[in-house]
Amino acid sequence: MLYWNSFSEFIAMGNHGVYVWGSVGVTALLMALEPMLLIQGRKRLIARLKRQFRAEKHDSSRSKD
Amino acid sequence: MNNRLINWFKYASPQSFYPIAGKMIPWFWALAAVFGVAGLYVGFLVAPTDAQQGEGYRIIFLHVPASWMSMFIYLVMALWAALGLAFNTRLSGMMASALAPTGALFAFLSLWTGALWGKPMWGAWWVWDARLTSELILLFLYIGFIALQSAIDDPRRADKAGAILALVGVVNIPIIYFSVKWWNTLHQGSSVSLTKSPSMAMIMLWGMLLCALACWMYSIAVALMRARSIMLERERHTEWVRALLTSTNSGKE
């Protein structure tokens, strides 16, 4: 079923290893990085908005007194 | 007003789209993982070598899906932009902005994997060939769209300016697609055609299609994630965002 006879053959990619793994590596890196940055940015945004809403609530309750 | 019209636009409001998108994201991630593992398994472990190109041809399983996505995302982005200009819905601009960085990512990956494929096959990382140059212009269009939008403070005006840029840039998509036919280029012709039977072995075609499906699911998941953040940011003055973020059952946002 598998095409390769050995793991080292798979890594070598018939002398094209640098090109094949260079493509795979950068693709995997960027496709992992993008969602990670999105999750981080989202957490930061939610924290900022929550802080802002708390501050506004605090201000408006003080001004009523 | 017509009832059907109201119902249609109901789902185009960020307030109702936001929770639906949130429920869909994990499913798209799961599908992306399944298709991705299957596609890479077929492409890198099962598919036989290419008689002409040796093992270097395996870059095709990343290069072709990335290139397809870079063009397709642009078309979807331009479609949202056109809808935004026509109906002035808030969601349209948000979706267009959410797609642009992912499209730029795939355009970059297309060029990167193409360079790494070109070096062993043609002896050059880059040539000023019609296909390569038009794909580079696509990357610049994405970057231009993002830069233009971020340079304008008012989001609605940014949407309009970006939409016009996106629509003008659509002309580049058929140029990329047909470049290998219209000009005598170094880049090989299409491996998969809508009119002819594919010029590659069945198992290779399967690997490529599975990888392409994985990229589709990835793109949808990531675009929805980014769209949700854009919605919160832009709608922060509305009651629904306030209710969502100040409610006691946190974690649901």
Give the pLDDT of chain A (65 residues) as one tens digit per residue: 788 888 888 888 888 889 999 999 999 999 999 999 999 999 999 999 999 999 988 888 776 55
Task: Report which residue type is found at B36.
Answer: G
Residue B54's DSSP bridge partners are B50
**Domain coordinates of chain B in residue numbers?**
24-47+56-235
Chain B residue with Cα closest to A42: B229
Q: Average model confidence (pLDDT) for chain A? A: 89
- CA atoms of B45 and A47, how far apart (whole Å): 44
ipTM here: 0.89
Render B186-223 in DSSP notation, one character per residue: SS---SS-SSSPPSS-HHHHHHHHHHHHHHHHHHHHHH
- At A13 the pLDDT is 87
Using CA atoms, how far apart are residues B90 and B189, in angstroms rounded to an integer?
40
- Chain B nearest-CA distance from A59, in A, is 15
Q: Which chain A residues are closer than 8 Å to B245 by Cβ?
A: 46, 49-50, 53
Select from B228, B240, B237 the least CA-distant residue to A52. B237
Token duo for residue B84: 């935004």
For the whole model, what pTM was predicted? 0.90
Using the beta-carbon criterion (under 8 Å), do B45 and A2 form an inter-chain contact? yes
Q: Could you read off the pLDDT of B182-194 as tens digits, one per residue?
A: 887 788 877 766 5
Q: Do A53 and B245 touch (CB under 8 A)?
A: yes
CB–CB contact B49 A14 (8 Å) = yes
The mean pLDDT values, 10 residues at a time, for chain B of 253 residues are 57 86 96 96 90 87 96 96 91 95 97 94 90 96 96 93 96 92 80 64 90 97 96 92 79 54
